[in-house]
Structure 1
Amino acid sequence: MTEFVRVLLPLAPAVPLVLALLGLLLRRPTSLLPLAALPGLAAAFVSPTGEIISLPWLLLGISFRLDPLGAVFLGFASLLWTLAGLYAYAYLGGKQGEGRFCLFWNLTLAGTSGTFVAADAATFYLSFALLSLAAYGLVVHERSKAAWRAGRVYIVLAIFGETCLLLGLLLGANAADSLLIDDVRAALAVSPWRDAAILALLMGFGLKAGLVPLHVWLPLAHSAAPVPASAVLSGVIVKAGLIGLIRFLPIDALPSWADTLLWLGLATAWSGILLGLPQRQPKAVLAYSTMSQMGLMVAVLGAGFGAGVAGTTMATALYATHHGLAKGALFLAVGVVAAGAGRAAIPLLVVVAVLGAAIAGMPFTGGALAKLAIKDSLGSGPVGLLASLSAIGTMLLMLRTLVLLVAQRPPAAVAHASAGLIGPFVATAAAALVVPWLLFPVLTGRPLAYAFASPVIWDALWPIFVAVVIASPAFLRSIAVGDIAGPVEAVLRRVGGSWTAWHPPRPAIDGPRLLTRLVKPAQSLETWLAGSAASGSALLLVAVLLGFAALI
């Protein structure tokens, strides 16, 4: 039995890889999706913590280790992935492209699981690269114009991020003369290449976490992907960047970098709010909300490590758990509403409202406990005030989502959502509301009674009250999904046009027909982009970064 328990940890990434191949042989491969994350869920509960499990015969050597942080991330991620897999079975089963979706779904899951339990830098990088590249298949699955555009932006930034990450890890491993993550992190703090390595890692992990100005892939990808894919993209995959920052950056020993992380996180949190409120699609609003919440989590790391607050890591893990489950449930709700909820529409929207208020920190919800857990790390000064005020923006985003869902409900006469869609949504919503209550005493060391103190309740309640008072159906002027991605594409398009004028392209090897098919969508894209406005210095910075990524 003990040996079987030890095997569970390697099975967390291995089983999805096997199912990815097996799914190619089945007529209904979506039937395998609910099973893929079960080994990871079991490993999170029963695998021994701290023990390194090495597989020297696999590739150049693979090693896994489950620590308390990894157990939390692996546990909530596997739970969400299992429920989203059930949802995907009803959502995509029997439809065109089912096998292709299952292939990329399982590959992304394998990479994500490996990232959470990797013990060395090589295993971590291999897993991180797998999840990054495989997620492209989920983003472009619909093969619509929006999906291809989102996929293009995503893959360019993903390759740029992987390049930065590889550079940072190589510098860290060279300084440590070891591949173990703990050794790399310790060596980076005193390495002569410290700042260069940390900057590279920050860009690689920060991109995945959706930090500005490299966030543009996030709203585009989450809006374009199928609903179950959006749920795991927003609920889990962005957390790979978060755990990477925790694992590798020695910010507790470097106050200047801690401050950088803090203010970059706060800038992202507020940018997500300001860019998300004018959106006109529920999934876009939810995507910008994820960007905002990820910024807040990064700010917690910067503030907590900078001030030496004990428990910052596990407090952030609790916050990530609630956000992942709640945001996953909200994305699933978008699909249920679009399918037609019928008589269940009102109860469904009530659940959506409760989940949204929970993310904003409404008292007596799992979200209130998550907010309470990170309060000590943020402190009571200006940083704590900015974080508290951001809860108003978060609630406004959730109200905006609710308003858009109500407005976009199909008529009652259309076909109702199946139990296969409603059931996983309800289960995910219940997990988001209940799981934080189970984890709060364990991860924070405080009793649940602490959450019922009058000052604590008031601190959580007043941002909700303010948001409800100032909410308006108009919610500002509309902004295109992806915000600065459009202007950047326009700049690169014009640069590309100038290059072509000086260096005429060679004829396409497949003849005029292929050339016409390639030029026509590019002309349509240029016409669409011509109406986008520039975004100042942020546009210039991201243009340079995207251009560099395209060259490499």
Structure 2
Amino acid sequence: MLLPVVPLPALALALSESPAVTTEVPVLLLGVRLGFDSAAALFLGASALLWALAGLYATAYLRGTDKPEIFTAFWCLTVTGNFGVFLAQDAVTFYVSFTAVSLPAYVMIVHEATRAALRAGRIYMILALIGETALFAGLVIACAAADSLIIAEVRDNLAAAPERDVALVLMLVGFGIKAGLVPLHVWLPLAHPEAPTPASAVLSGAIVKAGIFGMIAFMPAGSTMEAWSHALVAFGLFGAYYGIVAGLGQSNAKATLAYSTVSQMGLMIAAAGAALVATAPEHVAALVALYAVHHGMAKGALFLSVGIAGHVAARGRVVLLVAVAPVALSVAGLPLTGGAVAKTALKSDLSGPTAFLVAASAAGTALLLLHFWLLLRRDSADASTPDDGMLWAPFLAAGAAALVLPWMVLPAAGLDAAYVLSFANLWSAAWPLAVAALIAAAAYALKLKWPSVPAGDLVVAAERIAPAMRRGRRPVRMGTDWSLPPMGARLDRLEQSLRGWNVAGSALVAIAVLLTGLLLL
């Protein structure tokens, strides 16, 4: 019953007017250092509000569960890690917090203990361990190059470090898995449908933000980062459209929302990539934070609506669908909604083809969320359990926050309402929705059907390949009383060739974890 109270101190801190204050605890870890700037305050505040609303929802949704103490304990540990990521000022505290937000989430994913939930949890844990190992290796290299554990100093010195690209690749794997960067996104559409609905809400609305925040915190900016900027923008935009294409092929409402998250996180990754060569990267970080505020509240509300659909009474079905519609349209960027504010802000520092592709993605987002709305209508039509009024308040509050909060925090991103309400920006928000409406009308008239896509897409192919690989595996004698498969022999030769490289140990650990994950699939 206390879950809604847990995030309130963090929410109060985010609303305070003294973000420059830092706290140091030298006797913990290697010296804990906590603090936050205006962008981190937006991440922290939105996440805390969503955790509070999802916690209130959980008190009703999980009433009668067989394992309340287990769910509650790991929920609180994940909350701690999530807030720690936004507050950490040193690399060690950040890594411990990042691990705390990653690994305990497994327990929430497998809470129902169904076969599908255990499969999703296994895949999530494999990817999480790969990500944690890669991130650890990348941070070790980056901190060694900077000769410091302070995140700001690590970021400032990393651009000129000889092993910069190795560190950035490793960190990108760690952050990318959490942020749903394609092709590291496969855990999202598997975990969300199986986790309890309040856990799905925070997984998509708050936990994935740890990845994008890590990119902003650690990746250096400057002219030498141009290639990295282009790569991140390309990966981000590809993920934005990939999430739409795969999401339209889903038959599960929560899986559809998961692919929508992949798409929206792709837009944030593209903006973070653009920040690497921006003249004012701090300003772009604030724009990404504003977008994250809206996405977290809107996606949290939409996930909570799925739980209501399974309990809504006949007379509440229309109310639910009507309440969901403006939130879904806000994610698509409907003018005058909080989503339009967030998208306009995100595009304000983009130009050329990148700005056009970000704007055009709203058409696909609108189609994807129309697909979700239709699935929700189907699910609510099948509902037979009695309505639970305790589920409605958190959903409505999160939806209202998604529509209103971006207007309230717009000044924190250095913009004002007049900029958002200019004719050019209103038109930029409106035309993709008009295109989506025309496409939807044509598809309905022609009775077109989108091809089905299995949830997890790429991992399904890997699961089909892995058994064949295991059946064809032959031992190779290595001159001792044990044997290795052919892949192991190749890794052994690789180790011999890498012994002289000063980061070989970290690289081999990452390779070994990746290999283990592939073999376990």
Tell me the distance in 2 between the aligned counterparts of 1:235 and 1:342: 29
Partner of 1:528: none
Partner of 1:133: 103
C-alpha contact 2:317 2:381 (8 A) present in aligned 1: no
C-alpha contact 1:251 1:302 (8 A) present in aligned 2: no
- Within the alignment, does 1:147 sit opposite 2:121 as a pair? no
Partner of 1:393: 364
Match of 2:461 among 487, 490, 499: 487
Match of 1:78 among 48, 70, 86: 48
Tell me the alpha carbon deviations over residues 334-369 of structure 1, each in whole angstroms, 9 at most, x when there is no partner. Answer: 000111243222122112111111011100100000
Q: What amino acid maps onto 1:265 in structure 2?
A: G
Give 1:154-165 correspondences, 5 Å limit: 154-165=124-135
CA 1:336 to 1:192, structure 2 compared with 1: closer, same or farther past 3 Å?
A: same
> C-alpha displacement at 1:193, in angstroms?
0.7
C-alpha contact 2:4 2:53 (8 A) present in aligned 1: yes
C-alpha contact 1:304 1:378 (8 A) present in aligned 2: no
- Within the alignment, does 1:383 sit opposite 2:354 as a pair? yes
- Within the alignment, does 1:122 sit opposite 2:92 as a pair? yes
Partner of 1:351: 323
What is the SS of the residue equivalent to 2:123?
helix
> C-alpha displacement at 1:465, in angstroms?
1.3
Partner of 1:332: 304
Match of 1:246 among 210, 216, 227: 216
What is the SS of the residue equivalent to 2:212?
helix
Partner of 2:187: 217
What is the SS of the residue equivalent to 1:48?
coil
- Within the alignment, does 1:461 sit opposite 2:430 as a pair? yes
Q: What amino acid maps onto 1:179 in structure 2?
A: L
> C-alpha displacement at 1:249, in angstroms?
0.6
Give 1:436-475 correspondences, 5 Å limit: 436-444=406-414, 446-471=415-440, 472=443, 475=449
Tell me the alpha carbon deviations over residues 222-268 of structure 1, each in whole angstroms, 9 at most, x when there is no partner. Answer: 12111000000000111000000000011444111111111010111
- Within the alignment, does 1:258 sit opposite 2:229 as a pair? yes
Tell me the distance in 2 between the aligned counterparts of 1:323 and 1:149: 27
Q: Structure 1 vs Structure 2: percent identity of aligned residues?
A: 47
Q: What amino acid maps onto 1:470 in structure 2?
A: I
What is the SS of the residue equivalent to 2:452?
coil
Match of 1:268 among 213, 229, 239: 239
Tell me the distance in 1 between the aligned counterparts of 2:342 and 2:12: 24
Tell me the distance in 2 between the aligned counterparts of 1:430 and 1:187: 42
Moved more, 291-300 or 245-254: 245-254
> C-alpha displacement at 1:273, in angstroms?
0.7
- Within the alignment, does 1:292 sit opposite 2:260 as a pair? no
Partner of 1:13: none
C-alpha contact 2:120 2:190 (8 A) present in aligned 1: yes
> C-alpha displacement at 1:477, in angstroms?
1.1
Partner of 2:502: none
Q: What amino acid maps onto 2:90 in structure 1?
A: D
Tell me the distance in 2 between the aligned counterparts of 1:260 and 1:475: 33
User: What TM-score, normalized by structure 2, do the two folds share?
Assistant: 0.88
C-alpha contact 1:309 1:377 (8 A) present in aligned 2: no
C-alpha contact 1:316 1:374 (8 A) present in aligned 2: yes
Partner of 1:279: 250
C-alpha contact 1:278 1:475 (8 A) present in aligned 2: no
Q: What amino acid maps onto 2:267 in structure 1?
A: L
Partner of 1:522: none
Partner of 1:4: none
> C-alpha displacement at 1:169, in angstroms?
0.4
> C-alpha displacement at 1:103, in angstroms?
1.4
> C-alpha displacement at 1:389, in angstroms?
1.4
> C-alpha displacement at 1:47, in angstroms?
6.4
What is the SS of the residue equivalent to 2:20?
coil
Gaps of 5+ in 1: 1-30, 504-542
Tell me the distance in 2 between the aligned counterparts of 1:57 and 1:300: 38
What is the SS of the residue equivalent to 1:339?
coil
C-alpha contact 2:19 2:37 (8 A) present in aligned 1: yes
Match of 1:361 among 319, 325, 333: 333
C-alpha contact 1:116 1:243 (8 A) present in aligned 2: yes
What is the SS of the residue equivalent to 2:2?
helix
Q: What amino acid maps onto 1:66 in structure 2?
A: F
- Within the alignment, does 1:306 sit opposite 2:277 as a pair? yes
Match of 2:451 among 477, 482, 500: 477
Paired residues, what number? 480
C-alpha contact 1:363 1:457 (8 A) present in aligned 2: yes
What is the SS of the residue equivalent to 2:184?
coil
- Within the alignment, does 1:230 sit opposite 2:200 as a pair? yes
Partner of 1:536: none
Partner of 1:187: 157
Q: What amino acid maps onto 2:193 in structure 1?
A: S
Tell me the alpha carbon deviations over residues 349-404 of structure 1, each in whole angstroms, 9 at most, x when there is no partner. Answer: 1121111110111001000000110112221x111111111111100110000011
- Within the alignment, does 1:98 sit opposite 2:61 as a pair? no
- Within the alignment, does 1:496 sit opposite 2:470 as a pair? yes
> C-alpha displacement at 1:416, in angstroms?
3.2
Q: What amino acid maps onto 2:333 in structure 1?
A: G
C-alpha contact 1:277 1:475 (8 A) present in aligned 2: no
CA 1:318 to 1:476, structure 2 compared with 1: closer, same or farther past 3 Å?
A: same
Tell me the distance in 2 between the aligned counterparts of 1:261 and 1:252: 14
- Within the alignment, does 1:435 sit opposite 2:405 as a pair? yes
Give 1:399-410 correspondences, 5 Å limit: 399-410=370-381
Tell me the distance in 1 between the aligned counterparts of 2:382 and 2:128: 40
Tell me the alpha carbon deviations over residues 272-296 of structure 1, each in whole angstroms, 9 at most, x when there is no partner. Answer: 0111101001001000000000001
What is the SS of the residue equivalent to 1:306?
coil
> C-alpha displacement at 1:500, in angstroms?
8.1
> C-alpha displacement at 1:186, in angstroms?
1.1
What is the SS of the residue equivalent to 1:263?
helix
Greater than 6 Å deviation, 4+ residue runs? 500-503
